[in-house]
Amino acid sequence: MIVSENVCLSTLRLSEKFILLLILSAFITLCFGAFFFLPDNSKHKRFDFGLEDVLIPHIESEKEARHSSRQVIHGVGAHDEHRHSHSVAFGLFSFLCSALYIACIRLARLCNYKFVYFLITVVHMYSVNVNIYILSAGSSQMGATIVDALDTLYIMGLHDEFKDGQEWIEQNLDFSVNAEVSVFEVNIRFIGGLLAAYYLSGQEVFKVKAVQLAEKLLPAFNTPTGIPWAMVNLKSGVGRNWGWASAGSSILAEFGTLHMEFVHLTYLTGNPAYYQKVMHIRKLLAKMDRPNGLYPNYLNPRTGRWGQHHTSVGGLGDSFYEYLLKAWLMSDKTDTEARKTYDDAIEAIERHLIRKSNGGLTFIGEWKNGHLERKMGHLTCFAGGMFALGADGSPDDKAGHYLQLGAEIAHTCHESYDRTVLKLGPEAFKFDSGLEAVAVRQNEKYYILRPEVIETYWYMWRFTHDPKYRQWGWEAVQAIDKYCRVSGGFSGVKDVYSSNPTYDDVQQSFFLAETLKYLYLLFSSDELLPLENWVFNTEAHPLPVLHLGNITLPGSETQQ
């Protein structure tokens, strides 16, 4: 049971109350000091991130896959350097404020209630009183805010906060509870976050916790087809699908976004089960007929048949395509089957879903039962970065074409931001009836600190070094800071077209895992997490490229 701050404080001795208030006051002072009093950028010609050596287990010869012990940012002009300074201040401010939840963990320990922070998904950041601190996810509670933010803390050089998170995980993160969780969300946030923290820091506890949790997910695959259920109970292993999904189906983006993490689990443990589960999914999909070459978003795990013929590169479909490309990249470009599947899928998407508006904006629509809906979601904006990332290695010498396509998508998504009052993008926007890149319905006008547009800016910057991507990223920094920053952190807003926005009172864990990380990387050197050595999962957790050479993964039929 979650105990309120006031009730808990009443159980503490006066000295403990004084110490706690002192700690909280110090955090708040540091937050505002970091944001408002960062030294003048003219005094900072270089930025040092202090990344420690990263050892890829079992591959001693892969020196290029390690970070140098001191990564120095360079090559940033004075104007951009000021933006980088402000971006660092912005990130540091956020994380010093997010350290309040570390103080709350300590408060929980003083009050002797074990599970108050057992599992955390979102943070209520705006409400006065205890809601600043309480983090919840409906009936189940998982520590996603802590786990999801770990690698961002490490990359930003906030090692004290990282160690606090590690300590909490060592002492409190236990998966033997009677809780039903999303297989997809747990995989990308928890397993991905723990694996990234392990690879960056070398701390064994993160690998151990990742494997413990992965074992809890395996019963979800016990279906007639091997397509996993959307949800599984961590204690009983009983799985089920979302009640709203078409004909009891599993979701393409959910069962198709397991490959990266599960391959790494097999690699680290030698247990072939993880690799075999995800390869079975790929083989099953390869045998199925696809309408117009498109993958519908729904697949029934009992019958192996498609549900409603709805195809989207946004919600319900998005990261399936992303993981096909990243499976190839993560294999050191040896998984040619994954690359071929990706290329075929993108060809069908370009033929049936990608259009240009009357105003010249390239967008990706959604296919619904033979009809193209001229609407694009914020989630779909990740695709600009995906096209750029997959340009090298594309068939028929189309690298330039896909890089240009990525640039066009980035431009469209920037327009969706620029055409709002707050300069923050809506959840979805139309290209119909004279409207372009503008939300129409009230329930599509909100912004919940999503990262996809920033993600595409970062990839486009890495591949083109066009300064407009840093300019656009800086615009987003200013808008988030102006309209989303509240007393306890950052909150989503309900209407980006309103000059007096109301808050949704939620700081999603992906804001720390993705949005701030991509902003930080956007203003950093290419030598920080170079893309030839690292592949980011769909929650922005970096996993190393597996230069396996002649090593065969357990359970695989061919070398990866």
Active-site residue set: 185, 318, 427, 452
Alpha carbon separation from 322 to 214, 265, 311, 317, 383 (Å, rounded)? 21, 19, 15, 9, 8
Burial of 191 (0-12, 13-18, 19+ CB in 10 A): buried
Burial of 21 (0-12, 13-18, 19+ CB in 10 A): exposed
Per DSSP, the three-state class of 440 is: coil
Instruction: Please report, as a single letter, which amino acid is at residue 542.
Output: P
What six digits make up the tokens of 309? Answer: 């013929």
Q: Residues 222, 301, 509, 503: is their CA dihedral positive or negative?
A: negative
Contact in structure between 252 and 297 (CB atoms under 8 Å): yes
Residue owning tokens 């990263």:
54
Residues sharing a CB contact under 8 Å with residue 33, sequence separation 6 or more, in sequence order: none
Side-chain half-sphere exposure of 368, counting CA atoms within 13 A = 7
Residue 257 annotated in ligand binding: no
Q: What is the DSSP letter of 380?
A: G
Buried b (16+ CB within 10 A) or exposed e, 220-253: bbebebbbbbbbbbbeeeebebeeebbebbbbbb
Question: Which residues sit opposite 507 in a β-bridge?
Answer: 123
CA trace torsion 527, 529, 533, 539 (10° rounding): -160
CB atoms within 10 A of CB 328: 23
Contact in structure between 294 and 235 (CB atoms under 8 Å): no
Q: What is the DSSP letter of 132?
A: G
Buried b (16+ CB within 10 A) or exposed e, 160-187: ebbebbbebbeebbebebebbbbbbbbb
Per DSSP, the three-state class of 506 is: coil
Of 464, 489, 473, nearest to 425 by C-alpha is 473
Binding region: 538
Binding region for Ca(2+): 538
